[in-house]
């Protein structure tokens, strides 16, 4: 496993940085790669610009992973400049960018919490449309050697995501597994990882707690190892049961209300009912963590204080994750 960082954490408190500068910063911090959730830091999406990034990464012996915004026509969570474009066109373009940049994955996602509550198209209709888009892109993805990885983006359950990948074809579709996002939907992070493991090709490694009340639980971002995510067990699952070879640390801070499912959302309502006992435990643990003031809660992730805190946690997170991985390797 190679341990790297998501570009959002590397850009924190640093002002605008070009992709090449982000790679150099990652190398100085001791990271082994960079996961670019979008390519806004690239000088362009042409072959020359993407290969310039690949050249710097190769010289620093870093891995590169490339991402785009949503691949769902019903979602407007897109990268800047892509808001009015056909997602099929964007995906074709970004598959080439990933290939030129030396990335064997293209990370994308279905939406965020709002998309799940839409009347038209319904959530199921959105998933069916995304599956069709992935199947359309499959020949190009196969030709370029790039796996299109759907992230569990606080919107989709593990079982829904597994079904989506299997429907689209797991030779060209896979998963970008975010370790903390399952908590947003009252999912057990380890169980979600185990469900998705055969299809996980890249990751967002982050931590969080659930706090508040049963009626209004909140998702609170936490420093790595100080939240509710069982990293020892998750890393063991990734190493033993997934094709993933990279761990990319993400840190965006923030406090988010967990979504209230519609009555017609059978999958999410069933999950919330089944995990009600676990939710009580998670809330008890999370509230206790926050009461102890184990870490500062970053409410506004774009203010100067939060940006400085995120930047300061970068090297701490790298060391913490490496320690967990070393412990696991020592017991193999």
The DSSP call for residue 117 is G
Residue 330: the pLDDT is 61
What sign for the dihedral angle of Cα 85, 45, 130, 262? negative
Domain assignment of residue 320, given as a range: 2-330
Tell me how far apart the alpha carbons of residues 234 and 158 are, in angstroms, rounded to a whole number.
14
214 and 283 Cβ atoms separated by less than 8 Å: yes
Tell me how far apart the alpha carbons of residues 302 and 154 are, in angstroms, rounded to a whole number.
20
For residue 171, give the CATH number of its domain.
3.20.20.150
| Strands, E assignment, 179-243 | 200-204, 207-212, 217-222
Question: pLDDT tens for residues 3-57?
Answer: 999 998 888 767 778 999 999 999 999 999 999 999 999 999 999 999 999 999 9
Residues of the chain predicted below pLDDT 70: 13, 300-302, 328-332
Angle made by CA atoms 9, 156, 321, in degrees to the nearest 5:
35
β-bridge mates for residue 66, sequence order: 36, 106
Per the structure, how many domains does the chain have?
Answer: 1
Angle made by CA atoms 193, 307, 108, in degrees to the nearest 5:
35
**What does DSSP say about strands 2-6 and 246-249: parallel, antiparallel, or unpaired?**
parallel
What is the pTM for the complete model shown? 0.95
| Strands, E assignment, the chain | 2-6, 33-36, 63-70, 105-109, 147-151, 173-178, 200-204, 207-212, 217-222, 246-249, 255-257
């Amino acid at each position: 496993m190679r341990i790297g960082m998501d570009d959002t954490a590397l850009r924190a408190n640093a002002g605008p940085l070009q992709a090449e500068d982000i790679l150099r910063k990652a190398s100085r911090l001791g990271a082994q790669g960079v996961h670019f959730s979008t390519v806004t830091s690239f000088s362009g999406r042409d072959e020359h610009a993407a290969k310039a990034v690949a050249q710097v990464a190769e010289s620093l012996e870093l891995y590169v992973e490339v991402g785009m915004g949503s691949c769902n026509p019903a979602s407007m969570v897109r990268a800047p400049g892509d808001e009015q474009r056909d997602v099929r066109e964007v995906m074709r373009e970004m598959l080439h960018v990933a290939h030129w940049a030396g990335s064997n994955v293209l990370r994308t996602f279905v939406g965020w919490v709002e998309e799940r509550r839409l009347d038209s198209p319904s959530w199921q209709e959105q998933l069916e449309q995304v599956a069709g888009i992935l199947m359309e892109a499959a020949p190009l993805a196969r030709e370029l050697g790039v796996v299109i990885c759907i992230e569990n983006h606080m919107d989709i359950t593990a079982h829904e995501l597994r079904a989506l990948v299997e429907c689209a074809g797991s030779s060209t579709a896979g998963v970008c597994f975010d370790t903390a996002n399952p908590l947003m939907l009252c999912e057990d992070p380890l169980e979600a990882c185990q469900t998705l493991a055969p299809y996980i090709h890249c990751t967002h490694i982050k931590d969080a707690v659930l706090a508040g009340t049963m009626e209004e639980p909140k998702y609170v971002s936490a420093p790595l190892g100080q939240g509710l995510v069982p990293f020892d067990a998750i890393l063991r699952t990734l190493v033993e049961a997934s094709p993933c070879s990279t761990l990319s640390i993400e840190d965006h801070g923030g406090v988010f209300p967990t979504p209230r499912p519609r009555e017609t959302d059978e999958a999410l309502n069933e999950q919330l009912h089944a995990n009600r006992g676990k939710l009580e435990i998670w809330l008890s643990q999370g509230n206790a963590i926050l009461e102890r003031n184990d870490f500062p809660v970053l409410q506004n992730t774009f203010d100067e204080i939060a940006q400085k805190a995120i930047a300061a946690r970068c090297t701490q997170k790298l060391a913490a994750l490496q320690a967990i991985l070393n412990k696991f390797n020592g017991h193999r």
